[in-house]
Amino acid sequence: MFVFSLLLLGVLLPGFQALTLEECGSNARRPAYTDISVVCGTQFIELSILVCPVIYTGYNESLLILNQMGNNPNCQGRLNTSVTPPVVRFTFPLREADSCGSIFVTTSAPGTGIFSDFSNIQTVNVSGVVRSFDPTMGTVTYNAELSYFYSCAYPLEYLINNTVVDVSSSSIAVKDKNGTFISTLSMQLFKDRNYTSPLIIPPLGIEMRTTIYVQVIAANLTAQYNVMLDQCYASVSPLPSNSTVFNLFVSCSKDRFTTMYENGDTQRARFSFPAFRFTEQQNQTVSTYYLHCITRLCERTNCNQFKVGQCRRKRREAETTIIKDSISALITSVPIVTQEDNSMASNTVTTQAKAANKGSSVGLSVAVAVLVVVGTVAALMAVTFYRKLRWFH
């Protein structure tokens, strides 16, 4: 009897409803185009489907199959009644190898706006469908088929910032959303070649020609992508719109003082440059500027192709230019503050002091010479007067 009960439970399990139609109450209704929501995360994609309309149609959470992966326990939906209204949740990794049958398509298009210098800007689209499985064995069925399509589009090129990007929404049966990896990216400044000691910039600035080590790193990013810097530049304004900027490097073309250590090989990129001043700030005690990096996330197998493509493109010299495109909500590196070149200032002061001392010495010599001449003339006149006076007597 116990074995028979287990067998019976096994047969009924696919159609077992953990939530009844009566328990759904007012949430029991026909499916609508707003019954699915999609969270396009940086490591996982999460689908949430309202379960009461599913039950109303004649199904339950166990009969919703993600990309025909019903035999994979990691791809099955899980009922969550702790939220109102209750939902069925599917969560799967953002990795092509184990993404529960999701389809990955990478597209390329010429860059626009701040990416207009780049001819190949990539976006990866992850898509799939959750369909209902009808267990009816008869000739006809009275259950309508449910299909929930989803997609997440992730751009693979970013201007480094930590701005929260609002995710756009769409319809239910076909649910398209935009994801972003921007929250995984950050820029850090260091003072040593091993990138272990953060660079602390004092209020009076760092000395000229101090080597600044820069690291752009992706944290909590799916292992499918590496970090590759396409362009890094400094500007006198945190918002480089209509601001003088200096290109540290653009693709393969870089300033002669910029050194690249790692780029496109892992989930971090590293380079260094010596501290400098903008000439338009030469009359100021300190020079303050900001660092910006345009960052590409490339699939690990394709990063080398982008490196070659970068070097084949038309090279641009790293030079001072004017950025015309406005960039809104841009948060970049901490302000980099450099001191006045003290060695040049002290040399100037020393030279002026030497010139002043030399002038004083010359003036003193002239004065002494004049006094000697005057004294000699006075002595000669006194001798002549004495002789004449003696002759009259």
pLDDT in tens, 34-83: 899 999 998 999 999 999 999 998 899 999 999 999 899 999 999 999 99
Q: In whole angstroms, what is the distance from residue 208 CA to residue 340 CA? A: 8
Compute how many other C-beta atoms are within 10 angstroms of the C-beta atom of residue 42: 18
Residue range 212-218: mean pLDDT, rounded: 92
- Choose between 386 and 232: higher pLDDT: 232
- Choose between 116 and 93: higher pLDDT: 93
Instruction: Of 211, 207, 206, 209, give the one whose Cα is nearest residue 192.
Output: 211
At 24, which helix (H) or strand (E)? helix 21-24
Q: Given the structure tokens 């990063």, which residue do they identify? A: 303
301 Cβ partners below 8 Å, 6+ apart? none
CB-side neighbour CA atoms (13 Å) of 393: 6
CATH code assigned to 184-341: 2.60.40.4100
11: amino acid identity, one letter:
V
**Do the domains 184-341 and 8-135+143-178 match in fold?**
yes
Confidence category of residue 371, pLDDT binned at 50, 70, 90:
low
Contact between 310 and 230 (Cβ < 8 Å): yes
For the stretch 261-316, pLDDT in tens is 999 999 999 999 999 988 888 778 888 888 988 888 888 888 888 776 666 554 44
Query: What is the reported pLDDT for 333?
Result: 72
Residue range 105-113: mean pLDDT, rounded: 84
Confidence category of residue 16, pLDDT binned at 50, 70, 90:
very low
Instruction: Please give the share of the chain, as a percent, with pLDDT higher than 70.
Output: 70
Q: In whole angstroms, what is the distance from residue 159 CA to residue 235 CA? A: 14
Q: In whole angstroms, what is the distance from residue 365 CA to residue 362 CA? A: 5
289: amino acid identity, one letter:
Y
pLDDT higher than threshold 60 for residue 330: no
Confidence category of residue 10, pLDDT binned at 50, 70, 90:
very low
Please tell me whether residue 201 adopts helix, strand or coil conformation: coil
Q: Which residues pair with 129 in a beta bridge?
A: 149
Per domain, the residue ranges of the chain are: 8-135+143-178, 184-341
Confidence category of residue 160, pLDDT binned at 50, 70, 90:
low
Assign domain 8-135+143-178 to its CATH architecture. Sandwich (2.60)
Q: In whole angstroms, what is the distance from residue 63 CA to residue 135 CA? A: 8
